Amino acid sequence: MALRPHCDCTARPFPNSVASPRPDGAAVCDRGRFGANSSNPHLASRGKTGVLVSCGAAILCGAAITLINFFWTVGQAVN
C-alpha cells in the first residue's frame, strides 16, 4: 500500500523546497504532518507551549523600556 501525499507536491519550482506554491500564494505541501494535525498529542502540546512562551517573550520585549524606566525611577528614589 503506497502512501499518498497530503497535497500535490509534484510541481516544485525549487528542488529542495518543502512547500510548492499555489497560484493563490498558499503553501499546502506537507501540511498535517506536524503539530496538532499529526495525531501526536505530545507534539501538539509542545507547540502550544512554544506559542505561549514566545508570546510572553514578545510582550516582555515590548515592555522592556517601560520596565527599565520604572525600575530606574524606583532605584533613584531609594537614595
pLDDT means per 10 residues, the chain with 79 residues, are: 54 54 53 63 90 96 95 91
Domain assignment present for 58 = yes
Domain assignment present for 23 = no
What residue numbers bound the domain in which 51 lies?
A: 40-77
For the segment 9-30, what is each residue's pLDDT rounded down to a tens digit? 555 555 555 555 555 555 545 5
Count: domains in the chain:
1
Cβ atoms within 10 Å, residue 9: 14
Please check whether residue 32 is in contact with residue 44, taking contact to mean a CB–CB distance below 8 angstroms.
no
> In this predicted structure, what is the pLDDT of residue 16?
55
Please check whether residue 6 is in contact with residue 30, taking contact to mean a CB–CB distance below 8 angstroms.
yes
**CB-based burial, 24-61: b 16+ in 10 Å, e otherwise:** eeeeebeeeeeeeeeeeeeeeeeeeeeeeeeeeeeeee
